[in-house]
Amino acid sequence: MKPTFKLDAHPRRPRPLLSEPPAGYFDHLPMQIMARLPQAEAREAAAGWRWLAFLSPALRTSLASVAVLGGFAASFFLSGTPPLVPATASTASLDAVPRTELVGYLLTSGARVENSDLAILTAANPGLANGFLHASEDELNDALDAQPSEDATYL
């Protein structure tokens, strides 16, 4: 077991005596400090913004907020509107791709196609699947019956 520590049992080390400052140190100290202060030209340049010190902190904060929001609004309006691209360009290029190739891409590319997406497509164009889906009505019914469904709306 360790013995208890008692501070009185340990002798103190002698402190070294402080040395005297150089001769005339305190006489020259104010001049050295004044030499480090900003010059009069720098103070005159800052005088143009001195009026901000007279405003209340809430008013200064609101002024800064207005300046930031004004800069954002100005950059937004000066950037201009993006050039309009006709919407027919993308649909025309997709119409040139055969439907079987589109379906093959969607099934193999890892794209997340859900049943609701396909339901919207077939509702808009009921004969869409006739070109690539070759199954009898009995096969389709068997495949649909094998699907697990907990919601009564899909039955």
Q: Which one is predicted more confidently, 147 or 66?
A: 66
- Our measurement of the distance from residue 137's CA atom to the centroid of its chain's CA atoms, rounded to an integer in Å, reads 52
Output 90 or 8, whichever has higher pLDDT.
8
Contact between 128 and 99 (Cβ < 8 Å): yes
User: pTM for the full model?
Assistant: 0.29
Q: What amino acid occupies position 20?
A: E
- What integer best gives the mean pLDDT of the chain? 79
Average confidence (pLDDT) over 81-99: 70
Report the pLDDT value the prediction gives residue 124, as an integer from 0 to 100: 76
Tokens of 28: 């020259």
Closest by Cα among 132, 134, 75 to 105 = 132
How many angstroms separate the CA atoms of 36 and 45, rounded? 18
Q: 33 pLDDT exceeds 70?
A: yes
Compute the distance between CA of residue 33 and CA of residue 80 in angstroms, rounded to an integer: 54
Helices (H), the chain: 25-36, 40-46, 57-78, 88-95, 99-108, 115-124, 137-146
Do 129 and 122 meet the contact criterion of CB atoms below 8 Å apart? yes
Confidence of residue 122 (pLDDT cuts 50, 70, 90): confident
Bigger pLDDT: 122 or 71?
71
Give the C-alpha separation, 59 to 67, whole Å. 12
Q: How confident is the model at residue 11 (pLDDT cuts 50, 70, 90)?
A: confident
Question: In the prediction, which pLDDT does 3 show?
Answer: 85
Distance in angstroms (rounded) separating the CA atoms of residues 59 and 51: 12
37-66 tens-digit pLDDT:
877 666 666 667 778 888 899 999 999 999
Domain boundaries, the chain: 97-147
